[in-house]
Chain A
Amino acid sequence: MSNPVSFIFSGLFVILAHGAMLMNIFFNGNYKNTGDLALLAAVVIGLDILFYIIMLFWKQNTYTVDFMLILILNMSTIFQASFGGVHMDKDVIKHIITCIAAIAASRLGFWLVRDYRRIQNRRAYIWAGIGFLMLVILVCCGRRSIWIDLGFITIQPSEFIKPLLVLACATSINEQQHKHKFLSFNIVWENVILFGVVAAVCLFQWWCRDLGSIPTFAAIYASGFLLRICYPKTKFSKKTLIAAISAVVLICGVGIYFAPDYVRARLFVDVWSDTNGDGYQQSQALIGIANGGWFGKGPGFGFLHNVFAHENDIVFATISEEWGLLYALMMTVVLLFICSSPLIFPPRSYFHGTMCAGICAAITVQMALNIFGSCNLIPFTGVTIPFISAGGSSMVTSGLMVGMLIAAQNPVFTKVKKKKKQGNSLLSPLKQRRSA
């Protein structure tokens, strides 16, 4: 542990923040059964303490993002359990299980990419993983569906493509120097494959009618694409940048022009003229935010829990109504702090830099789509807020991505296991030429 004092204080203040939220429910909230509230408190504080103990066994340079993760996860548990009155039903228990799964996924992500050379040498598995998931979407989901229903659980396979796409972008950046001559053009094949994969993923999303996820995939790819400007020998000119931006604008224009009717209706809907139809969720969300004010109506006293998808699509509005805009904004601040943590601990390799940019882009875009959609500033998409909205697939993939973000702040620098090559490189230049 690099700084035991900060570790102890971080853990204590996370418990204090959750304790204050539970006290707020106890005095201000809507609950019929004190047992439910006691159970919620036991789960939240128990999970905090358990996480604190588990982290003692992980040797890291920084634990800030880990504590931010447990802070936001247990905040979401408290929010989800208090919507419409404190209850510990099947959905809340499912949410608690997905929170634990997110923590486990974050540890997995941390272990996977801490030593970037290991994942760099195994990047074929990343491409295979993306291909496999696309095949699963094609076979199991089918047109107009993004879910696989296993009876006891539903899985959204497209969510799992996000961390794999981040890794594909990050591993491809180290391949920029491997250029090949093709029809008088210098081409990096990995870039061509990556572009093809992103285009295919976006087309699949269009086919499944999950258009809300396309901006997230586009943001991951765009962040990886732009970061290549910084990479040596890419010769990324201004002309290329202008051409890329023009292509994006053109694709967006063509996409809107040829979009199906239901998409165009959603793009140009006036929520107040259709409060019982397409504009129902957004108009109710706006009324809810206005009713809540700065400090909310009190946990469990809102109306929005009666609206469809109040726990994921319009979760920002539901929190604003019951807990107040102040709490909803602070929740956003915690997520933004997780995203801005690479500015405090700058990544020390191109791989980790690109990976961090991709993860931050994905989290920020998802958050913006949900919050601005609820507030009627952009079309309503139904994308989840990472860690806050209910949803197992989103929770696990967000946990995995934050684990990767933590790994970028705690990298290991070990020798590459290529003893033969290294031996040759240490020979004199004359011997190297002879051996060649």
Chain B
Amino acid sequence: MDTDKLLLCAISAAALDLCILVLIIASYCEKRSDKKRWRSVSADMEIADANRSFPLSCDEILIGRHASADIRLADLSVSRYHAMLTVADGVWTITDIGSKSGVYVNGSLVRERRLHENDVITLGSKRLLFRKRRDK
């Protein structure tokens, strides 16, 4: 193939490469915007215990002792699969998914309960606070 034609082929391929690169960069830019959107969907809440805070980054969050749990509480009083947090229209709900010690919200035993800011959730001997997200 002639040098001119080869050069043209290379330029054409480079344009396609550039396009793919731009789309990858664009996706990372959009990811940042998506994080902000999720904060508005999730009402910018988090779960915290005495030492740590857990971000609420999905619409279904499993709390339990099992290694596959999204919020893992390594305490024998907590069931392996204890409770599920779900969000819809910015409202978080906690559901007991068959735990042995039950789910308590502000001291009352619940099977399913809509959560409000500063609610205290008790799972076994663990106490968690449902609060607004705090930036580190």
Contact = CB atoms under 8 A, between A and B. Distances in A.
**Are chains A and B native binding partners rather than an unrelated pairing?**
yes
B132 interface: no
B30 A61 contact: yes
A395 interface: no
A330 B20 contact: yes
B22 A9 contact: yes
A113 B77 CA distance: 38
Given A13-B23, A334-B20, A414-B88, A426 B114 contact: yes
Given A24-B12, A337-B24, A349 B58 contact: yes
A202 to B, nearest CB: 30
B64 to A, nearest CB: 7
Contact of A28 (B8, B25, B87, B93): B8
Contact of A414 (B6, B38, B89, B98): B89
Contacts of A349: 58-60
B97 A20 contact: no
A61 B84 CA distance: 26
B65 to A, nearest CB: 12
A324 B38 contact: no
B22 A61 contact: no
Contact of B68 (A23, A229, A324): A229
Interface in B41-87: 41, 57-60, 62, 64, 66, 68-69, 81, 84, 87
A51 to B, nearest CB: 14
Contacts of B8: 23-24, 27-28
Nearest to B4: A27
Nearest to B104: A429
Contacts of A23: 8, 12
A68 B24 CA distance: 10
Contacts of A298: 1, 5
A413 B18 contact: no
Contact of A345 (B9, B25, B31, B57): B31
A327 B41 CA distance: 41
Interface string A344-363: 11001110000000000000
Interface of B: 1, 5-6, 8-13, 15-20, 22-34, 37-38, 41, 57-60, 62, 64, 66, 68-69, 81, 84, 87-91, 93, 97-98, 108-114
Given A9-B26, A62-B34, A413-B90, 15 more contacts: A3-B32, A10-B26, A13-B23, A17-B16, A17-B18, A64-B27, A67-B26, A232-B64, A324-B13, A348-B38, A349-B58, A413-B59, A413-B87, A413-B88, A426-B113
List the 6 closest pairs (A to B, CB-CB), nearest first. A20-B15, A6-B26, A2-B33, A17-B19, A64-B27, A24-B12
